[in-house]
Amino acid sequence: MEFIQPILEILFINILLSGDNALVIAMASRNLPNDLQGKAIQWGTLGAIALRILFVFLMIHLLEMPFIQLIGGILLLFIAYKLMVDKHENDQIKSGNSLQEAISIIIFADVIMSLDNVLAIAAIADSNLLLIIAGIILSIPIILTASELILKLIQRFPVVVFVGAALLAWTGGEMIVKEEVVQVFIQTSSIPKPLFLIGLTVITVIVGAIKRKQG
């Protein structure tokens, strides 16, 4: 269970945060002939996955630096909030007119859009490289084959977004409480750690829900 639980969390977050990435792949190759679309998707995806794994490794080393856990935790709270309010619109994605151009667009767009994904995976895996690789590899076929279905489910059942945002916010909170300054604050203020994490999670989800309703 110690291995399965984080794998499931990584898989869930990876799928939730990668739906737009999969649509980018489809949009970038839509103008190519049918025989080249498969190649663009295959090579573009492989390039994007390789860079994503590299970025996760770099993120793990960065998380060992002072105050990076705090900064990363705050970023994850923002990502959770953003997940709540985003509308997943990709109509303006550029399409490639050649195989090379489509692959370049796929890799570049995926790198830009995957920073939230990378941070979340590194935080959940807690520097366990096996968990990171397993989580990314397991999510690849689902992202490629079911991206449109995933986005439709998210739009139809908002509870999926709420659960994902809560998980991200909780993970962000766990990163924040790893910082020595925050630990000292929690000890001196006598706030139980679980209560602190619940408070951060609830506030993030509520603020996101209010903004989502207004939008």
Structure tokens at 173: 């909170």
User: Position 25: which residue type?
Assistant: I
Structure tokens at 13: 């977050």
pLDDT for position 91: 47
Q: What does the pLDDT profile of the chain (215 residues) look like in tens digits? A: 667 888 888 878 877 776 666 666 666 776 778 778 778 777 777 777 777 778 777 877 787 788 888 988 898 898 888 878 875 554 445 556 787 877 777 777 666 666 777 788 888 887 787 887 777 777 677 666 655 566 567 667 778 888 888 988 999 999 899 888 899 988 898 889 999 999 999 999 999 999 888 86
Spans of all domains in the chain: 4-214
pTM score, whole prediction:
0.73
Sign of the alpha-carbon torsion through 141, 147, 152, 157: positive
| Long-range interactions of 110-113: CB distance < 8 A, separation 24+ | 110/21, 110/24, 110/25, 110/44, 110/48, 110/51, 110/52, 111/48, 111/51, 111/52, 111/55, 113/20, 113/21, 113/24
Nearest Cα to 78, choosing from 164, 9, 172? 172
pLDDT for position 24: 66
